[in-house]
């Protein structure tokens, strides 16, 4: 990638932005559930869309891993940027839905699977933000040794979050009102 961030001031600024985003995103998402909902806006069509975005993200991550193992760095870079973009689009859809809709309670017989999966999904979706962003930053900076080291944690967690998001959606979808 670029070595534009080799300047210590720019690196410090980038790290600060990552830390800020890593705190702000989960806090804002958590606050959504306690806020009054915007009425008169029907975004009930969004959950299957953002579940599909999660599925697409998982697919892109698999292909990105395969391409880097084949030494295709440019394709890998493009795919990771696509996965980041998809994650941002997912977040936008998720926030839009949850500022206009009350939470949907799970009503199925498999709560012993659903709730632990949901808790793991939520917890790791918080953890994955700084992991992915710092992993991307190390590559951008050209520190591929650190990038590879962080990827060993970031990639499987990102993949789990993407796949578990689809599974959680599929399990709760019958209970949407």
What does the pLDDT read at residue 4? 54
40, two tokens? 């008169």
Whether 17 is covered by a domain: the verdict is yes
Whether 170 is covered by a domain: the verdict is yes
Domain residues for 137?
Answer: 4-35+45-175
Number of domains into which the chain is organized: 1
Q: What is the distance between the alpha carbons of residues 144 and 141, in angstroms, rounded to a whole number? A: 8
Predicted confidence pLDDT, tens digits, the chain (177 residues): 444 566 889 889 999 999 999 999 999 999 999 999 999 999 999 999 999 999 999 999 999 999 999 999 999 999 999 999 999 999 999 999 999 999 999 999 999 999 999 999 999 999 999 999 999 999 999 999 999 999 999 999 999 999 999 999 999 999 997
What does the pLDDT read at residue 6? 67
Reported pTM: 0.93
Q: Is 158 helix (H, G, I), strand (E, B) or coil?
A: helix
Residues in contact with 43: Cβ distance below 8 Å, sequence separation at least 6, in sequence order: 96, 97, 100, 101
Which CATH number covers residue 118? 1.20.120
Whether 14 is covered by a domain: the verdict is yes
What does the pLDDT read at residue 93? 98
Say what the alpha-carbon torsion angle 9, 10, 15, 19 is, to the nearest 10 degrees: 100
Whether 127 is covered by a domain: the verdict is yes
Whether 40 is covered by a domain: the verdict is no
What does the pLDDT read at residue 2? 47
Whether 146 is covered by a domain: the verdict is yes
Q: What is the distance between the alpha carbons of residues 122 and 26, in angstroms, rounded to a whole number? A: 9
């Amino acid at each position: 990638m670029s070595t534009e961030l080799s300047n210590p001031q720019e690196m410090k600024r980038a790290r600060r932005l990552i830390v800020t985003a890593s705190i702000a995103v989960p806090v804002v998402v958590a606050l959504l559930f306690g806020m009054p909902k915007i009425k008169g806006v029907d975004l009930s069509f969004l959950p299957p869309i953002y579940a599909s975005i999660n599925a697409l993200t998982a697919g892109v991550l698999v292909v990105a891993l395969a391409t880097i193992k084949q030494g295709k760095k440019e394709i890998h870079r493009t795919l990771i940027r696509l996965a980041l973009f998809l994650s941002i689009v997912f977040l936008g859809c998720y926030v839009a839905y949850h500022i206009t809709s009350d939470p949907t309670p799970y009503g199925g017989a498999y709560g012993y699977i659903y709730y632990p999966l949901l808790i793991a999904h939520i917890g790791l979706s918080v953890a994955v933000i700084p992991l992915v962003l710092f992993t991307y930053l190390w590559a951008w900076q050209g520190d591929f040794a650190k990038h590879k080291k962080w990827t060993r944690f970031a990639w499987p967690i990102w993949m789990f979050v993407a796949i578990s998001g689809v599974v959680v959606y599929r399990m709760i979808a019958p209970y949407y009102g």
